[in-house]
Every structure is written in C-alpha cells, then in structure tokens.
Amino acid sequence: MASRERIKAIRNQPRTMEEKRNLRKLVDKEKSKQSRHIFELSCCTHCVNSISLAYRRSKNILSELLSSISLWQKTFKVIGGKFGTSVLSYFNFLRWLLKFNIFSFIVTFSFIIIPQFTVAGRNTLQFTGLEFFTGAGYFSDTVMYYGFYTNSTIQHGSGGASYDMQLAYIFTIAACLIICFFSLLFSMARYFRNNFINPHIYSRGITKLVFCWDFTITHERAVKLKQKNLSTELRENLSEIRQENVRLTLNQQLTRLSIHLAAWVVSTGVATTCCVAVYYLAVNNSEFLQSHRNPGSVLLLPFVVSCINLAVPRFYSMFSLVEHYEIPRQEVYVLLIRNIVLKISIIGILCYYWLSIVALAGEECWETLIGQDIYRLLLMDFVFSLADSFLGEFLRRIIGMQFITSLGLQEFDIARNVLELIYAQTLVWIGTFFCPLLPFIQMITLFIMFYVKNISLMMNFQPPSKAWRASQMMTFFIFLLFFPSFTGVLCTLATTIWRLKPSADCGPFRGLPFFIHSIYSWIDTLSKRPGYLWVVWIYRNLIGSVHFFFILTLIVLIITYLYWQITEGRKIMIRLLHEQIINEGKDKMFLIEKLTKLQDTEKRANPSSFTLERSDVEEPDPLHVREYEGARELRFRRSVQENNPNA
C-alpha cells in the first residue's frame, strides 16, 4: 500500500489507540526492511518523507495537547449527556466569550497597562473598600480608568526607545476590535458551513450514532457517559424528524398567528415602557447625584437597569404558556429576539446619555465617569445573576418540589441566560476604551458564572421536556453578538473618536480637539520622513478614502451573494440526491416484488420440475446423512438423561 492508504487502513481498524500505534510501528518496520532490499530512497525523497512524518506527529501531539488543556471538557460531556446539546450550547458560548476576553486582556495589558506602570506615580487617595461597588475613589487614580494614563512619550534614558502613549492607546483598542471583528466573522462562517449547509439531510448522523463506537474509551465511567450522550443525541434527532412532520389545520394556524401577534404587541409595549423609564432616569441622573452626596447614590441607575434586565425576560418567558411552539428552537429564537430588542435599546439609551449629556456637561474627566458607570453596570448585573442563581432558581426548585408539586422542576432558560452574556459583553466592548481593565473583570465574572450556572443546573433544573438538536444555536448566538451588538459598539466608539472632544486635564489625548487628531499628527510626522511615505499613501488612499471602503463593501456584498447562491444550489442538489436515493430504493423494492411474483408464477406452472430441481440441489451425500443421524441420536440420548437421571 501507499503511505496514505496504509495509514487510513490502520486508522479504520476496530482497535484501541495503543494497538493501532503498535501496528503502525510494526508495519513501518517491515516496510523499511523491504525498502532496503528493493530500492534505496534518494536523499531528497527521504528528507521529504521525514519532514512529512514529523509534521504529522507534531500535529497529532499539538491536537492532543490542546484537547487535554481545553477548559471544562469533562464537565461539558456531563452536561451534554444529561441535558442535551440545547443547554450545552449556552456553556459553549460562555467558554467562547471567555477566550475572547482572555485575548483582549493580554493585548491591553501588554501594550497599554504595562507601559503606564513604568511611569505611574504613587496613589495618594485612601482605600475604603466601597470602591469595589462604586468603582470611584481610590480606583480613579489607577490604571483601571482612562484618566490615569499619560499623554507624553515614554522614554527611559537618553538613548532609549520612545513609546508614544497616544498611538499605543488608540492602536491597541483598534487592534482588539479588528481582531474581534474577524474572529466573529470567521466563527459565523465556520458554524454556518457546518450547520446550515446541510440542514435537510434526514440521516443526521444516525448511522454514526447507532453503528459506531469509540474504542479508545476503556474507563467504566467514561463508557456510561458516552452511552448517555449517544442516547440523548438519538432522542434529539428522532424528535426533530417527528416535529418536521407536524401539520396544522387552517383554524389552528390562524389561532396561533393571532396569539403570536398579541404576544409581540405586549412585549413591544413592555420594552418601550422600560426604555422610556431608563431614559427619564438617565437624563435626571446628574441632578439626582448633585442633590444626593451619598456614595451609594451612584448605584441607582445600575440597580434599575439590572432589575429590568432580570424581571422583563422572565415575563417574556411566560408567553410560552400560551404560544405553544411545536419546535422548541423557534421558541428560543423568538425569546432571543425579544430580549435583544430590550437590552440593546437600553444600551443605546445609555450610550446616548453618556455621549450627549455626560461628555458635554463640562465635567473634569468625563471619560473616567463613563468608565465608572459601565463598571457599576457590569458589577450590578453580575450580582443580580448570582442572586438569581442562588436564590431565585433555588426557591423555584423548593416551591416546585415541596409546595406546588404540579409545577415540578423548571427547565433551563437558554434565551435569557444567553442574552445576559451578550449584554455584558457589549458593555465590555464599549467600556474597554474608557476602562482598559474591563476584559480582565469580565474574564473573572465569566469564570465564576460557569461554575455557578453548572451547580445550579445540576441542582435546580430538569432536562428539556422536548428533546431537540441545537447544532445551529451557536451560529445564531454569534450572529446576535455581531449584529446588533458589535456593530453598535463600533458606531458608538466611532462617534466618540471622531466627534467628541477629549478632556483637557486627563487621559492620553488631553489637549487635542478630537481623539482622531492623534492619528492625523502621526501621519503628518511620517510625511516628512522619506522612508515612511508608503504608510502615508496607504492611509490617505485606502484607510482614509471613502471610495475605497465603498468599493470594498460592494465586493464583500457580491462575494456574500455568490456564496449564498452556492449554498442554495447545494441545498437543492442535496435534496434532489436524497429524493433520488429514495426513488432508487422504491425501484429496488418494485423489482424484488416483480421477481417474487414471477418465481411464484413459475412454481405454480411447473411444480414437478421445481420439486425435482430442489431435491437435486438439497440431496446430501451418505457421509452427511450418517453425521446427521448420529447427531440426532446423541440429542435424543441427552434429552432422555435430562428427563430421567437414572436412565
């Protein structure tokens, strides 16, 4: 065999991983003996084979290492086996956001916080402990907020390298956002390709679930967990096939349509009322803070917003009692859309309050004030989430198990919990410009929330009553995170950088008319140096050109349309091939029935010839006859002895 065929054949063997490795070593050893006797490899071929083998081994080692250090891998298997992929999708999304924030913190800590530490002075403010709740006081004069950073060029020694803090600050934030943008884009594309290209294949991997087994699993507990996972996946696949065959009458469709329309009207009215209340409170927040000097008064706005974010999604979840969606995925999608409209509207009102009222109020350092507001919103949201998990969900379990047993245990609300993550991540992206340590704070909160939600899930919830696959949920989650969450963040920060004037006495951009003028000054400096004229040309003709972005957007839209058409064509082709397979099966059944009828007709027409032919075929030789008679006599003797032991 060739090398690839040999590796493929060994990989397909029903053996353990250790046996496969020993078999590969043995085959390679025999192959090397044959190669020495048959021909001598050239030096170039030998080097290519060695490099290829080393590459495969290093790739396998790296993949095994990454899988071994993957966060919460064992916990994910337990959750997936007990609650299915629908609940597991929430924890997958949480882990995905945690990786995002770890990367953002590493970038900001390396290029913004560490350089500032080298020139930071001593903090003279007194630490009281109240700063953990308000974010003000002692924390205002630390690297936590925008106002603490210097606007000078950092240089140690007369001949040392210089570090421009203005450029470092704006380029680091821009790099984080650009990398997040492409990560979201590629993640959406990958999940879309895996989950939406072939959504109508009716096999859905049933063959893999029923007839395949991972022979590398040898531990008893791991085997039981794998069996539970396979059972849950089978129930999800069969449930989805059953739900696709549900057909409603015209009256049922009209009734459900009217119920859905009424639910949307009520949910929209509730969201509008909440947004008006937040807007009124935000506009009058400055006057309230001036009349109340209590340090805890700054928590009023975050408290009201967190109460709305906790109560209204639960009110939306009660609509499922009257809407009765047949497909659970549709119910989750509708709840997600209603909640995202509420939360993004509240964030939009808060952004308007920060950029139109706080930034223009003439405060000494309005960027730090916005950073403190966002910190308090995140902290209050985290506290409410913990209280809801430890108290709300626990009390619901006690009521359902002890007092009102007809309620039973509740099911995990995927839409509400996912929107809490999206809401918090949106605030982190907005606040990173004003509070560079927010990714680190969000990283800690996500890490804690995983264990809190996992414990609450195992204690207070039951598996979904309707099993359903959630293969497409991650795609929808990331899409909601991209639009309207991330696109709204880009619009907010673009308005801040291009339209607002920085504070005159704090921050790295103090003294500039706009934040973007730091880039303009840098480009003017580079234009005077002949070696950097190519950078100036790229900025003026590409980055700073409206026509370039118009053409780029047009090209992206054309490519997106072409890929969409290719996807639709593949879906049609898959459906046609599936119908062809079904028709071929029907043709085979038809031919088998015709052949059976033809054989029956010939049998009735010539019974004597058929009997003679059968006797010729089935006539045994004398040796077989004697063996048959001996075996029959032996069975007779055994039966007699069993009935009469004295015989």
pLDDT in tens, 448-469: 999 999 999 998 888 776 655 5
Residue 543 pLDDT > 50:
yes
User: How many Å apart are CA 560 and CA 482, to the nearest integer?
Assistant: 16
User: How many Å apart are CA 60 and CA 330, to the nearest integer?
Assistant: 40
Report the pLDDT value the prediction gives residue 509, as an integer from 0 to 100.
Answer: 93
Cα 82 to its chain centre, rounded Å, is: 19
Report the pLDDT value the prediction gives residue 472, as an integer from 0 to 100.
Answer: 67
Q: For helices 438-460 and 366-387, give the axis angle rounded to 10 degrees.
A: 10
Higher pLDDT, 334 or 217: 334
**pTM of the entire predicted model:** 0.76
Report the pLDDT value the prediction gives residue 23, as an integer from 0 to 100.
Answer: 86
Q: Which residue has the tokens 């490899």?
A: 41
Strands 162-164 and 153-155: antiparallel
Higher pLDDT, 198 or 322: 322
pLDDT digits (tens, 9 = 90+) for 244-256: 666 777 888 888 8
Buried b (16+ CB within 10 A) or exposed e, 52-82: eeeeeeeeeeeeeeeeeeeebeeebbbbbbb
User: How many Å apart are CA 637 and CA 647, to the nearest integer?
Assistant: 9
Name the band, by pLDDT with cuts 50, 70 and 90, for residue 628: very low
**For all residues of the chain together, what is the average pLDDT?**
81
What is the rounded average pLDDT of the residues 591-596? 90
User: How many Å apart are CA 226 and CA 626, to the nearest integer?
Assistant: 52
pLDDT digits (tens, 9 = 90+) for 431-452: 999 999 999 999 999 999 999 9
User: How many Å apart are CA 181 and CA 485, to the nearest integer?
Assistant: 11
% of the chain exceeding 70 in pLDDT: 82
User: How many Å apart are CA 382 and CA 297, to the nearest integer?
Assistant: 19
Question: Is 370 within 8 Å of 360 (Cβ atoms)?
Answer: no
Residue 68 pLDDT > 70:
no
Strands 461-462 and 410-411: parallel
Report the pLDDT value the prediction gives residue 199, as an integer from 0 to 100.
Answer: 45
Q: 477, 509, 513, 514: which is closest to 495 by C-alpha?
A: 514
Q: Which residues pair with 462 in a beta bridge?
A: 411
Residue 304 pLDDT > 70:
yes
* Weakest mean pLDDT among 45-49, 56-60, 355-359: 45-49
Q: Which residues pair with 164 in a beta bridge?
A: 153
* Weakest mean pLDDT among 79-93, 459-473, 590-604: 459-473
Q: 520, 537, 421, 368: which is closest to 97 by C-alpha?
A: 421
Residue 160 pLDDT > 50:
yes
Question: Using the 8-state DSSP alphabet, how is residue 530 labeled?
Answer: G
What is the rounded average pLDDT of the residues 620-635? 46
**Helical segments of 250-284, H only:** 250-283
User: How many Å apart are CA 124 and CA 247, to the nearest integer?
Assistant: 72
Q: Which residues pair with 153 in a beta bridge?
A: 164
Token pair in block for residue 216: 């590398």
Identify the sign of the CA torsion 47, 48, 51, 56: negative
Residue 198 pLDDT > 70:
no
Question: Is 149 within 8 Å of 116 (Cβ atoms)?
Answer: yes
Token pair in block for residue 362: 């003439």
Report the pLDDT value the prediction gives residue 624, as an integer from 0 to 100.
Answer: 46
Report the pLDDT value the prediction gives residue 619, as an integer from 0 to 100.
Answer: 46
Residue 632 pLDDT > 70:
no
Report the pLDDT value the prediction gives residue 240, as an integer from 0 to 100.
Answer: 64
User: How many Å apart are CA 310 and CA 316, to the nearest integer?
Assistant: 11
Question: Is 297 within 8 Å of 288 (Cβ atoms)?
Answer: yes
Q: 503, 227, 564, 229: which is closest to 360 by C-alpha?
A: 503
Report the pLDDT value the prediction gives residue 382, as an integer from 0 to 100.
Answer: 95
User: How many Å apart are CA 345 and CA 340, to the nearest integer?
Assistant: 8
Q: 153, 154, 136: which is closest to 144 by C-alpha?
A: 136
Domain boundaries, the chain: 50-79, 84-240+251-513
What is the rounded average pLDDT of the residues 389-417? 84
Residue 323 pLDDT > 80:
yes
* Weakest mean pLDDT among 318-327, 447-456, 605-614: 605-614
Identify the sign of the CA torsion 150, 152, 154, 156: negative
Describe the chain by its helix, strand, coil percentages, rounded to 5. Answer: 80, 0, 20
